[in-house]
């Protein structure tokens, strides 16, 4: 494993969820913070986010997130978490790559009663907890105490699956702009130390 120093530039990929775009919620704020700190930040564009197609979203990740290494950090929101974890799982199997960390906001791995239209998409995802834990040594899961879309137990279940540190933010809804989250200061507080080690 590479010994990293604080001058190394990290690559951070930000992956949005269902019915969102890279310009929504807290993604532009986080991207700016990362760039101001001297790191490479890319907000991934996913097609047809209102009616997501699993294979299409996998292709979009492959096109926009081709290089994974120990300076890579993946940050995903909602359906983007499941999408990213499936993609990473397959890439790890193919290449043996490892990334530095994954941060998952309102993530889940099982079908949601609140979003039945996503059931087929969710069932396409294949993930191996051992592979993910080995190749993403630092996993962090943000959950909201009153998430109306992803019940907190669903996020806790995903966190357990990937051996994530779980951070609960009180009354954060689904961490969307309409919930008051055009920024997530708690996420930056957790991310910042990772950028200097």
Residues classed as catalytic: 78, 147, 174
Instruction: Work out the burial of residue 83: count CB atoms within 10 Å of its CB; fewer than 13 is exposed, 13-18 middle, 19 or more buried.
Output: buried
Q: What is the per-residue DSSP string for 57-90?
A: HHHHHHHH-----TTEEEEEETHHHHHHHHHHHH
Pairing state between β 138-144 and 101-105: parallel
Decide: 15 and 83 in contact? Cβ < 8 Å: yes
Give the H or E element holding residue 94.
helix 79-95
Give the integer Cα–Cα distance in Å for 59 and 157. Answer: 27
Among all chains, which residue has been given the structure tokens 């492959």?
A: 62
């Amino acid at each position: 494993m590479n010994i990293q120093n604080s001058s190394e530039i990290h690559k951070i990929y930000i992956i949005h969820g269902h019915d969102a775009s890279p310009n929504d919620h807290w993604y532009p704020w986080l991207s700016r913070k990362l760039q101001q700190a001297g790191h490479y930040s890319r907000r991934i564009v996913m097609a047809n986010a209102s009616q997501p197609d699993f294979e299409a979203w996998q292709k979009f990740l492959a096109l926009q997130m081709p290089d994974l290494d120990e300076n890579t950090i993946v940050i995903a929101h909602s359906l983007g978490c499941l999408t990213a974890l499936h993609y990473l799982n397959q890439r790890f199997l193919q290449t043996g790559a490892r990334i530095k960390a994954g941060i998952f906001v309102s993530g889940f791995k099982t079908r949601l009663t609140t979003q039945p239209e996503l059931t087929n998409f969710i069932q396409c995802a294949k993930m191996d907890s051992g592979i993910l834990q080995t190749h993403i040594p630092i996993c962090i899961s943000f959950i909201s105490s009153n998430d109306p879309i992803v019940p907190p137990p669903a996020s806790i279940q995903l966190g357990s699956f990937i051996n994530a540190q779980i951070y609960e933010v009180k009354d954060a809804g689904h961490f969307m702009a309409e919930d008051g989250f055009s920024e997530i200061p708690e996420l930056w507080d957790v991310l910042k130390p990772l950028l200097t080690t």
